Amino acid sequence: MKFKFYIFILGAGLSACSFGKQTFVNGKSIPLSVEYSNSRSVDSIVSPYKIELDKEMNQVIAQAEVDFINQRPNGNLGFLVADILLEKGKEVLPNEKMICLINNGGLRAPISKGNVLLGDVFKLMPFDNQFLLVKMPAKSIVDIKEYLKKSGGEPISGFKILQDSIFDGQNEIWKMEDFWVVTSDYLLNGGDNMNFFQQKLEVKNPNLLLRNAILDGFKSRKTLSNIVVTRIKL
């Protein structure tokens, strides 16, 4: 009896995937017979692609001055990522009132002090979630505040929730007007019970992965400095 063994060549297309260019996958089927029953034979086929992938993932893209940890209600990792995503959002809509709101559960690994590798970004954000900008009505900021109080806090940027008061990015009392939220397609579609996004007025999709936006932010900063600030006080 023969089985089919499939090899998918991903290494050559990795940088294209990372930087928003065309992605491709090459594959071929190999009948699994006595010739390939020895695992060393399989290893010899896979090894060249693993070497290339490891080389790509081990690129140093930034330096972290401290350990970045995912914590509630105020975590330096979540705030770093939220700040980067907010900056990217303002590049798309530079003259709009805007905040960033993502979820703790979407950040799957810390960033350790020292060299930050390309592979670390994939560990941090392993999902292919889309970077979205969502226009929300003025009243929805109250629902966002109540959600953050119930959840115990999420990564945010561009505003603060200090007990029952809401402040903007300039530490001024929040003005009740329509605003934009940088977030993910997962959360827009009700992930983590963020049902307030059902109030959306408009959605813009720049065709960008959250992971690639984070990668761009790490590269442009070069040095990741600690963020010690209280943005959520419950």
- What global pTM score does this model have? 0.80
CA distance to 72, 84, 111, per residue, from 221 (Å): 24, 9, 14
Dihedral Cα 208, 214, 217, 219, nearest 10 deg = -100
| pLDDT tens digits, 55-107 | 789 999 999 999 999 999 999 999 999 999 999 999 999 999 999 999 999 99
CB 106 within 8 A of CB 129: yes
Q: Give the C-alpha separation, 85 to 69, whole Å.
A: 17
The tokens describing 92, both together, are 């798309």
Query: Mind listing the domains of the chain with CATH numbers?
Result: 3-57 (no CATH), 61-233 (3.90.780.10)
The residues near 12 (Cβ < 8 Å, ≥ 6 apart) are: 24, 26, 52
CB 133 within 8 A of CB 89: yes
| pLDDT tens digits, 120-166 | 999 999 999 999 999 999 999 999 999 999 999 999 999 999 999 99
Q: Give the C-alpha separation, 223 to 113, whole Å.
A: 11
pLDDT at 52: 72
CB 204 within 8 A of CB 92: yes
Give strand ranges (E) for the chain.
3-9, 26-32, 60-64, 98-101, 114-117, 131-136, 156-157, 159-162, 165-168, 179-184, 202-204, 223-224, 232-233
pLDDT at 54: 76
Q: Give the C-alpha separation, 133 to 129, whole Å.
A: 13
